[in-house]
A and B are shown apart, each in its own frame.
Chain A
Amino acid sequence: MSNPFQLDWLVQAGVLALLCGLAAYLAQRGIGSFNDGVRPLLPELYKGSITRRELAARSYRLSIGFVLSLGISYALAFEMLNPWLLFLPADVIGVYAARGRTAAWLGGLWGAMMSAFLQWMPSMVHELPISMTMPLQELYLPVLLALCMVPFLAIQKQFGWKRLVISLVIGLGASLLLAFTGQQWLRGLDVLQLFSISMMLSGTLLHMALAAYQDRKGRAGREAMAAQMLLMHEEPYRKLKRSIPLYMLLGGLLALSVHLHWLGGTEVSIPLLYDAWQDEAPSSVWLASIAAAEWMRAVSFVPLLVMTALTTGAYGIAGLTMVLPIGYLAPNPVLAVLIGMGVIAVEVLLLTRIVKLLYQYPTIRESTDYLRSSLHTMMELGVFIGSVLAVVKLSAAPYSPAALFIFMLLYAVNEAAGKPIMRIAIGPVGVIMTALLLNGMAVLGW
């Protein structure tokens, strides 16, 4: 991976060590975790109803499959780190460590190891006779197009066909109009990217508006309940506010790591960033379309993160994940750090307002469930189609039938074994394995 600033390996190791060390420290103190399943258990740790060993074992069991199938395969395929690989182990280290200092050191060690992984990986990938880099860029288009449909699929699932048609007329209509006028001043793929931004944003807004409309009656009654619930959130919120400086530091480091191309975003943005970052200077519309996708995903997780944070006093390691796109939107590292810190601060300060809104509009909370389900469905499709295209591109003659055969065989084995590798990861895993086998065949001269 080309590093735009030619930073020393030591700096990279230092920043990633600080990032993971801080994440592990937060988990140890019970004030932050990446894993949504660990956060509700952090207060239990301090109440003494669960031991550190038990929680670490539980946390390990929850994340090991995720790290092995999604974390490692995405890192190998797209040559950048991801939050699962960095922070799920940091959670385990944090909840296990008896002292904050131990957690910070061990977490830091993990971060430095991840830096070593990042250094070693590209040299390994690029020395292969059959390159994987070009083929994996094929994921870009199918993933972006799949993402355009996410909010509309969610609207159909939650509100039915009639509302979908109305939303499509508005959302698709506006997006097409925008793309059409955009042709005057934009070139090539930028028009499509502008269209996708408009589809994702207008679709998500329409979906949330439909949910709010559903809840227009009976708000007064819920207002009273919201006030009562807010009292319950007071103590955790005070705890969250006390930790703001640490969360801000995390936000700054996260944005910096993304800015320097060490860390991608989530499963949604990683395949898109991989393609964009191969370009010397990706256009701002291009990067904005990736940010729009990441923010759409972030919206779908907001209620879960906000609720768990306000009941436990522990925040998400990447906050509401809104901070990740700051890395590629910010023009330079200094601004990335500063804006990253600011975004996290604003998030935490807005938490009680967001939760109040969620109590007043309960349907919005449910809408995000549908948004997450649709995101999952469409990402599976987009990544899979992209992976098939990658295999086809990977398999220059004389290997083309062999490549497709190997890929399908791997898919079949995974299905037969009860899908140990998640559907969203099986495509990239299949491409990597196929590429390795083809490279083996090429070396052996078959």
Chain B
Amino acid sequence: MLRFAVAGLNKEQLAQAIKAAGGNRVSVIATSDMEAAMLVKTSQADYYLGACNTGGGAALAMAIGILGITRCATIASNGVLPDAAAIREHIDAGVVAFGVTVESIEAAATLVTQILIEQQG
């Protein structure tokens, strides 16, 4: 079971997109950015996803503060679509918190969930 904590703009939509992509292999909790990042830090959740207008501002600000910059990455920004190869690279590098734009919530959440499930085998 992959445990996600999601925060930021339109977090319900983000949670639903993860559930839709992961079915019964994922659990999702939508909460405030600080709490979601703390859940990951204390290993009560595996991955953090957050959305904002740029994909790297409000979406990741608290996560960067709590988890550190090396464990956070923006995977969709304005005009840049989420890319499977780049996401895999981030996961391999130990990234646990992802920032996306509001526009790419569906696409990014689906892609991240699929890749993580696939890597879990």
Residues of A within 8 A of B74 (CB): 37, 61-62
Residues of B within 8 A of A423 (CB): 102-103
Which B residues between 65 and 103 are near A, CB-CB below 8 angstroms?
Answer: 65, 69, 74, 77-81, 99, 101-103
- Known A65-B78, A66-B78, A373-B10; judge A311-B58 contact (CB<8 A): no
CB of A65 within 8 A of CB of B69, answer: no
In angstroms, how far is the closest chain B Cβ from the Cβ of A266? 11
Q: Which secondary structure dominates chain A's binding surface?
A: helix
Q: With the chains together, A312 CA to B104 CA distance in Å? A: 29
Q: Which of A29-61 contact B (CB under 8 A)?
A: 35-37, 39-41, 44, 49-50, 58, 61
Known contacts: A37-B56, A41-B69. The answer to whether A422 contacts B78 by CB under 8 A is: yes
Q: Which residues of B contact A420 (CB under 8 A)?
A: 78-79
Residues facing B in A415-444 (CB within 8 A) are 418-423
Q: A41-B64, A365-B34 are in contact. Are A418 and B107 (CB under 8 A)?
A: yes
Do A35 and B78 form a contact, CB below 8 Å, given A40-B64, A157-B12? no
Partner among A66, A307, A369 whose Cβ is within 8 Å of the Cβ of B53: A66
Determine the chain B residues whose CB is within 8 A of the CB of A41 once the complex forms.
64, 69
In the complex, how many residues of chain A place their beta carbon closer than 8 angstroms to a beta carbon of chain B? Answer: 40
Contact B12 A65 (CB under 8 A): no
**Contacting pair A369 B65 (CB below 8 A):** no
Give the residues in chain A near B9, CB-CB below 8 Å. Answer: 369, 372-373, 376
Q: Say yes or no for B22: interface residue by CB 8 A criterion.
A: no
**A63-B81 Cα distance, complex, nearest whole Å:** 15
In the complex, 30 of the A-B residue pairs with CB atoms within 8 angstroms, ordered by the A residue number, are A35-B54, A36-B52, A36-B58, A37-B56, A37-B58, A37-B59, A37-B61, A37-B64, A37-B99, A40-B62, A40-B65, A40-B69, A41-B64, A44-B69, A62-B56, A62-B77, A65-B77, A65-B78, A65-B79, A307-B61, A311-B65, A369-B33, A373-B9, A373-B10, A376-B9, A376-B10, A418-B104, A419-B104, A420-B79, A422-B102
* Residues in chain B within 8 A of chain A (CB atoms): 7-12, 31-35, 52-62, 64-65, 69, 74, 77-81, 99, 101-104, 107
**Interchain residue pairs A-B with the least CB separation, the first 10:** A65-B78, A420-B79, A36-B57, A37-B56, A37-B57, A40-B64, A65-B79, A62-B56, A419-B103, A418-B81
